[in-house]
Structure 1
Amino acid sequence: MSNFFSSVKNAYKLFKSVDFDQLNALSKKVNLAQMLEAAGNLNEEQWQGLMKLMSTQSKKKPLPAIEGDFYHLGDEALKDSDRALQLEVRAFLEKEVKPLVNQYWLKAEFPFELIPKIATLNICGLTYKGYGCAGKSNLMEGILAMEMARVDTSMSTFFGVQSGLSMGSIYLLGSEAQKQEWLPDMQQFKKIGAFGLTEPEVGSGAAGGLGTTAKRQGDKWLLNGQKKWIGNATFADVTIIWAKDLDDHQVKGFLVRKGAPGFTVEKIMDKMALRIVQNGLITLTNCEVDEADRLQNANSFKDTAKVLQMTRAGVAWQAVGCARGAYEAALAYTQKRKQFGRPIASFQLIQNHLVEMLSNLTAMQTLCFRLSQLQDQGMLTDEHASLAKVFCSMRTRDIVSRAREVMGGNGILLEHDVARFVADAEAIYSYEGTKEINTLIVGRAITGFSAFV
């Protein structure tokens, strides 16, 4: 009788330590009646060993945190105050932006309600000095561009056009009066800017000759031509228009105000990427601009290139953010998604994809960190920025593709975010200079020969 009670007691302990899923799986592998009999025959020492073994196996180790900065570059490179700002911006994006972006991306509309909220972060024109700007490092600006793209590349692009291309044109090339008029309000998002360089027939060849023309008549200029793919154009208060002066054939920049006669914008529809960004086709028909609204220090395409060099580094950081967002989403998915009775993250082929993604992402991050350091040291060249743009945009394509692959069919659904990153990576690959153009810039620097055309 004592053996019977001992068997019941031990069996009760055994089943109490096993959850229903384990019990169901166990019943398919062993004869429960025989297991009960065997449990009853165990002495106390044997029983304690069995319970210890089962207790060790049943405890689940906590999974590692989802972290795309594998080498902890942010922890090492940033001051405490800058690290705090990075985390503040990340928290804002997770709370305010992430819940909205899929629905706005699907509708190809812009969440205007976010603009005043973004303004409270006080990060626009981050690297400029004066005019309400913070005067922080280019490294910090790059990291924040990455943080934005990590959640949504469209919002990062909107911010880059505002803070980098349009404000940067005025900051680098405008007169003091122009800076005083525009920069403080743009820094607070009270005024929105756009940047009009690319044309329907002139993209990569902008340095070789623009189709948009400018003709001076007294104290006014007449602008004629078209600009295409201009972000923020449909609602901007000021658009920087680059045009060829018909008299000296040099490229000049103009501040075209919203509502200027002869200035019309048509929203570009049916995009597969950056759908939240409001890209416009601008038509200029004898558009009048005062001489006071010509960028006073923009006198050739070399001046335009100063703006592009500055912002191209930011696009490389955007590529890092897009890739990081896709990697982290894919990693989180594989830890939760189960097939064949266990998370797919436990399979070798999935881990291979994840490690390949992380390897590329880490290489991109370290390259961009060094790029921003060069920029902060005043050593940045066109070829430095171009190499980063080439490498990061190519690797981003590979990372988002693998992220979509590990998700299987679910990878094409917006709800998992990766589908949006896959599409947006295609825009990053092309804008701010295609792979081919940036490759030729680097090639010219390392060989001494120009292979353009």
Structure 2
Amino acid sequence: MSTTERRREPPPIDPDFYGWFGTLTDEESETRLKVRRLMETVVAPVVNDCWQREAFPRQVIDEIRTLDLLDGWYRDEPGPPPVARAVISMELARVDPGTASFFGVHAGLCMGSIALCGSDAQKAEWLPPLRRWERIGAFGLTEPEVGSGTAGGLTMRCRRDGDEWVLDGQKKWIGNAPFADVVVIWARGEEPGAVHGFLVRTENPSYQVEKITGKIAQRTVQSGLITLEGCRVPESDRLPGANTFADVGRILRMGRAGVAWQAVGCAMGAYEAAVKYARERQQFGRPIGGFQLIQQKLVVMLGNITAMLGIALRVTRMQEDGTQRDEHSALAKQFCAAKCRETVALARDLMGGNGILLDYGAARLFADAEAIYSYEGTNEMTTLIVGRAITGLSAFV
């Protein structure tokens, strides 16, 4: 090897090996790069400290407000621009999957519930301040004893009492719940098959929330255990378009593809940290990136990300043109979450002992990927959704 070859500038660290980002529109690209700059300058310097303290980087709310990311969301269309929303989730998760979860709960699940199932009055009251981040939203579906079985086993109950509804039960793992202004609560009604959605204002005296601590993944997410005992909610705060679990499914269908993009971003962040480390870490007199086994790990990681980007972008374009079905978003979530888990593990492994330290960029993403793998449809549940589409046979029970 000549001196010139040894001194050659290394290529840029680019996880988009097939140029998927080149297919984005100018507006989508601009949105992606705006969010990347925000995360690199505002969140990246503080995220390790926040993660250790189980604290959310609240300064991101003020900064994200200046970008007007939600300005056109849920106005003329029932949902946000699919690819624009997707690349936001990806860039947030590239630095901090917890911030991506915060965004998805607020802008996707909460705002989406109001936009798809709310009355005109509810939309007028809540969507503008939620767009401007003056109010923060949450989404309460999962329960302490009911996770994957929510379609048939909600234990939160609601009953009509004059002009009010009375809610009783608990919700668990509810992101943003400790500091939200409104939580969309889903409860089983008294009639067979009835499932209703409610806008529960957190100043309601019967709203009680306990922050969940001791997590090993997405520690920046403020997750809550919500308890409602005899919680009275006016009829005007019931979502009139939410009457069965199928209505919940419409909202989850939007969010599941977004979680696939969180997986892409998380994997990208870990890959970029691994390449940087492989170039800088010296062993046996040279960078470890010059060893065959290290390059093999990096190539597997890059292949995973390339495939993840392709499937995530395609399913999101299908959402745009109206051809996306449940099984499409389920496959995207199942595949991307699984490949993310593999990719972050390779990044952590490549760094050896340093891989378990927050300072090197892989450890936190390695841990956070476990939450991505589990929420908004576990690997098993998303697999069975796709399996049913393939065979025509249900294997859920």
Shift of 1:242: 0.1
Partner of 1:172: 116
Q: Deviations over 1:259-284 (max 9, x none)?
A: 21221000111000010101000001
Partner of 1:328: 272
Partner of 2:9: 62
Distance 1:189 1:262, change over 3 A: same
Aligned: 1:266 with 2:213: no
Q: Which amino acid aligns with 1:109?
A: A
Do the aligned residues in 1 keep the contact of 2:28 with 2:87 (CA within 8 Å)?
no
Cα distance in 2 for partners of 1:103, 1:121 equals: 25
Cα distance in 2 for partners of 1:421, 1:348 equals: 25
> Which structure has the larger Rg?
1
Partner of 1:200: 144
Cα distance in 2 for partners of 1:93, 1:427 equals: 20
Distance 1:145 1:347, change over 3 A: same
Q: Deviations over 1:53-88 (max 9, x none)?
A: 97646x61100101111111112x222232122112
Shift of 1:417: 1.8
Distance 1:409 1:378, change over 3 A: same
Residue in structure 2 matching 1:95, options 34, 37, 41: 41
Q: Secondary structure at the match of 1:276?
A: coil
Residue in structure 2 matching 1:74, options 8, 17, 21: 21
Partner of 2:365: 421
Partner of 1:294: 238
Aligned: 1:245 with 2:189: yes
Residue in structure 2 matching 1:399, options 318, 343, 352: 343
Do the aligned residues in 2 keep the contact of 1:125 with 1:163 (CA within 8 Å)?
no
Shift of 1:249: 4.3
TM-score normalised by structure 1 residue count: 0.85
Q: Deviations over 1:141-174 (max 9, x none)?
A: 1111111100110000000000000001001110
Q: Secondary structure at the match of 1:183?
A: helix
Cα distance in 1 for partners of 2:317, 2:216 equals: 34
Q: Which amino acid aligns with 1:65?
A: P
List aligned pairs for 1:133-152, cutoff 5 A. Answer: 137-152=81-96
Aligned: 1:110 with 2:22: no
Cα distance in 2 for partners of 1:80, 1:138 equals: 15
Cα distance in 1 for partners of 2:257, 2:277 equals: 31
Cα distance in 1 for partners of 2:334, 2:49 equals: 31
Cα distance in 2 for partners of 1:430, 1:124 equals: 27
Q: Mind listing any 5+ residue stretches in structure 2 that lack a counterpart? A: none
Residue in structure 1 matching 2:326, options 346, 358, 382: 382
Partner of 2:198: 254
Do the aligned residues in 1 keep the contact of 2:73 with 2:131 (CA within 8 Å)?
no
Q: Deviations over 1:392-417 (max 9, x none)?
A: 11111110010001111110001112
Q: Secondary structure at the match of 1:372?
A: helix
Q: Secondary structure at the match of 2:133?
A: coil
Shift of 1:123: 1.3
Shift of 1:128: 2.7
Q: Secondary structure at the match of 1:328?
A: helix
Cα distance in 2 for partners of 1:392, 1:137 equals: 21
Do the aligned residues in 1 keep the contact of 2:212 with 2:223 (CA within 8 Å)?
yes
- The count of residues paired between Structure 1 and Structure 2 equals 397
Distance 1:328 1:138, change over 3 A: same
Aligned: 1:156 with 2:103: no
Distance 1:126 1:436, change over 3 A: farther
Q: Which amino acid aligns with 1:452?
A: F
Shift of 1:130: 4.7
Shift of 1:368: 0.4
Q: Deviations over 1:228-266 (max 9, x none)?
A: 000000010000000001244411000000121221000
Cα distance in 2 for partners of 1:299, 1:406 equals: 50
Q: Secondary structure at the match of 2:7?
A: coil
Cα distance in 2 for partners of 1:372, 1:443 equals: 21
Cα distance in 2 for partners of 1:287, 1:336 equals: 57
Q: Which amino acid aligns with 1:270?
A: G
Do the aligned residues in 2 keep the contact of 1:125 with 1:164 (CA within 8 Å)?
no
Q: Deviations over 1:13-51 (max 9, x none)?
A: xxxxxxxxxxxxxxxxxxxxxxxxxxxxxxxxxxxxxxx
Q: Which has the higher contact order (CA 8 A, sep 6+)?
A: 2
Q: Which amino acid aligns with 2:70?
A: C
Q: Secondary structure at the match of 1:313?
A: helix
Cα distance in 1 for partners of 2:89, 2:308 equals: 14
Q: Secondary structure at the match of 1:204?
A: coil
Partner of 1:434: 378
Q: Which amino acid aligns with 1:277?
A: V
Cα distance in 2 for partners of 1:124, 1:417 equals: 29
Q: Secondary structure at the match of 1:129?
A: coil
RMSD: 1.6
Q: Which amino acid aligns with 1:324?
A: M
Shift of 1:380: 1.0
Q: Secondary structure at the match of 1:71?
A: coil
Do the aligned residues in 2 keep the contact of 1:371 with 1:380 (CA within 8 Å)?
yes
Q: Which amino acid aligns with 1:376?
A: E
List aligned pairs for 1:21-40, cutoff 5 A. Answer: none
Do the aligned residues in 2 keep the contact of 1:215 with 1:247 (CA within 8 Å)?
no
Q: Which amino acid aligns with 2:302?
A: L
